[in-house]
Amino acid sequence: MAAPRKKFTLALQQDFLKHLRQGMRRGATAELLGFSRMTVINYIEDHPQFEKQVLDAEGEANEHVEEALYQAAVSGNVAACRAWLELRPGRESDLALAGPQVPPPEPREPSEDGEEEQFFANVTRMNPRQRRKGA
């Protein structure tokens, strides 16, 4: 004989949302509260208002992480700066600052005296994302 199903009461819904706000994933939270993942998935599908609350709770958890990332970035953490710029939606123009601004010039015909040709043969193009060795 199967055990009676546990009801997803209002109190349990609030606990579920609280754990999501603290950063737990949906499935882990469901199991913590004694539900299967599918029970919660089905409940969310059947209750659009609760789905909105779930999305809001997950968004709040993400905002805490974004704030910590931002604080690390403004304190000088280069990896955090890069992550902040890469992860923000619609901010492609910020990323252009890290790379070349214009395409390289088209190759030109060599000059008659060969001076320009020798100069450019000795110049190497450096990738701005690579650090110089020894610097």
pLDDT digits (tens, 9 = 90+) for 2-52: 455 678 889 999 999 999 999 999 999 999 999 888 989 999 999 999 999
pLDDT (0 to 100) of residue 129: 52
How far is Cα 26 from Cα 67, in angstroms, rounded to an integer?
22
**Nearest to residue 9, comparing CAs of 43, 48, 60?**
43
Token reading at 32: 């913590």
Residue ranges of the domains in the chain? Answer: 10-96
Record the pTM: 0.58
Token reading at 116: 């320009």
Token reading at 132: 């110089």
Reported as half-sphere exposure (CB side, CA atoms, 13 A), residue 89 has a value of: 0
Token reading at 49: 């208002």
How far is Cα 110 from Cα 119, in angstroms, rounded to an integer?
11
pLDDT digits (tens, 9 = 90+) for 62-86: 999 889 999 999 999 999 888 888 8
Terminal-residue alpha carbon distance, the chain: 73
**What secondary structure letter does DSSP report for 98?**
G
